[in-house]
Amino acid sequence: MIVRLELRADHRIDRVRLFASISLHQSSNHPRFINADIQMQNDSTTPSPADRPSSVARTFRQLSRTPFVNDAVAKYYDSHCLIDSRFRRAARLLQILWMRDQGIPNAAVDERGAHLGSYLRADAAESGRNFISPQVHLLALRELLLREEDAAIDEDRLITNTLSSMPLVFNAFGPLALDTKLATAVFRQLLPEFVHSVERIAFEHSPGRRDERFLADRSAFDVAIHITTPEGEAGIVYAEVKYSEELAGPVARWRERYDQALKEVRLYKDPETALLRSPPIEQLMREHMLAQLSVDHGITPRAMFIGIAPRLNRRAGAAFRVYANELVPVANDDSTRVRFQHFTLEMFIDAIDVAGDQETADQLWKRYCDFQRVYDAALAVIAPRAMSGEPSSSGTPEPVGDTQRKPAARRAGSRSRRTQTNGQAGVSDPAEVSHG
């Protein structure tokens, strides 16, 4: 039996009952669930809790593909940028809609030389409006002041650019850094065989920048989660987080040390393959080697390397899968090897929700993952007459306001998504850097 599901903003799906009664047609025309997106590509990855029958059933909905935002729609919402990919264009529009919900003004032409609605106005940026809470903003400022030597933190991207993965890292991991009990509950779900408790979280971290024992460069991780394993050992989960970036380059200048490290770390089926040196996965290779070298040189007795990206950022997801396929299998009892695993951003947000911080999960979802809203906003521009005759979760563009219904009581692992209202805009700037 094939069932077609239509997503509505206030519609809730019970996955356990759904899969007990029907066979869901797995095509691109049907919604998929988050725990189907954890890709176990080879034996060097650790099984996910989502792959176990005993795990909490998650019902996190996402569209089957990224809504296509044409030039007319992008210009209407002040999000037009010629170099944007399909996903990045939709993500930019989502950020602009989020900014309007929050009453955040965007940068004017005289601030940036050209206008693009996804940048914050200077006063809004300096007051911390790029972060989901004042507490996370203060954490980001503290980390900025006490950053490691030679850390590559772009302050402008951090506080001004809504589309960058840099503020996403603080918005997603900041609440966990401020509450290690929450962090523990989240990572016990994601990595149950590796994490017993989270002790602390560091941002923009490297075990040794420009150190010849490592890679003799500035390679670093977005986040380093210091943990205790179920066996009582210390360990670190190193993370690379992507949002609209697609790992398309540019690549780092190749160093002789990379050739040496590729053989030294013993992670790859073929250390000589050009694939490891290609733009989609070269950064993952450097960071994974850095993680392995941190174990080999006694920085930590155990480590794991993880990647996180939105499910609809298919290029980032494909890069994770291709990279994982280049790794040699690791024996289950070999604790000296650093495994790689990747998650969707939706899965990470859902874990925060299940851990009990529903407010943060909702904030992150609305800001970074609610592409149903982008779909509705685009449809409101290209087909307002067609929409006027049928029910919709958003309708035509109207002044921003809180028109949402109060959500029903929430069960563990169950989320109710509400589409919000839209705003308006007009022009844009094609000249923006490819890294957000």
Query: Over 60: is that where the pLDDT of 411 sits?
Result: no
Residue-level pLDDT at 380: 93
C-alpha distance across the termini of the chain, in Å: 44
Q: Indicate if the alpha-carbon torsion angle 260, 261, 267, 270 is positive or negative.
A: negative
Lowest mean pLDDT among 6-10, 152-156, 293-297, 299-303: 6-10
Average pLDDT over every residue of 292-305: 97
The predicted structure's pLDDT at residue 389: 57
Report the pLDDT value the prediction gives residue 394, as an integer from 0 to 100. Answer: 44
Interval 252-261 mean pLDDT: 92
| Residue 350 phi, psi dihedral angles, 5° rounding | -60, -35
pLDDT at 24: 29
Q: Is the pLDDT of residue 435 over 70?
A: no
Name every residue whose Cβ is closer than 8 Å to that of residue 331 and which is 6 or more positions away in sequence.
337
pLDDT on residue 354: 96
Q: Tell me: pLDDT of 355 over 60.
A: yes
Q: Which of 144-148, 286-290, 299-303 has the lowest mean pLDDT?
A: 144-148
Q: Stretch 421-425: mean pLDDT, rounded?
A: 34
Q: What is the pLDDT of residue 390?
A: 54
Burial of 414 (0-12, 13-18, 19+ CB in 10 A): buried
Residue range 198-224, pLDDT digits in tens: 999 999 999 988 889 999 999 999 999
pTM above 0.85, yes or no: no
106-115, 314-323, 423-432 — most confident range: 314-323
Q: Residue 31: pLDDT above 70?
A: no
* pLDDT tens track for 107-132: 877 777 667 899 999 999 999 999 99
Give mean pLDDT, residues 53-78.
79
CA atoms of 265 and 295, how far apart (whole Å): 10
Instruction: Calculate the average pLDDT of the chain.
Output: 80
Is the pLDDT score of 404 beyond 60? no
The CA distances from residue 208 to 148, 158, 215, 259, 280, in Å, are 10, 23, 8, 18, 24
Q: How confident is the model at residue 391 (pLDDT cuts 50, 70, 90)?
A: low
Rounded average pLDDT over 352-369: 97
Phi/psi at 36 (5° precision): -85, -10
| pLDDT at residue 363, as a whole number | 97
Mean pLDDT score, 83-98: 96
Most distant CA pair in the chain, distance: 66
**53, pLDDT greater than 50:** no
Q: What is the pLDDT of residues 92-108, one digit of tens each?
A: 999 999 999 999 999 87
Residue 307: partners with Cβ closer than 8 Å, 6 or more residues away: 239, 240, 241, 242, 284, 316, 320, 340, 341, 342, 343
Section 389-394 average pLDDT: 50
Note the pLDDT of residue 30. Answer: 32
Asked if pLDDT for residue 319 goes beyond 50, the answer is yes
Across the range 364-376, mean pLDDT stands at 97
Q: What is the pLDDT of residue 248?
A: 74
Q: Give pLDDT, residue 36.
A: 35
**pLDDT of 405 strictly over 90:** no
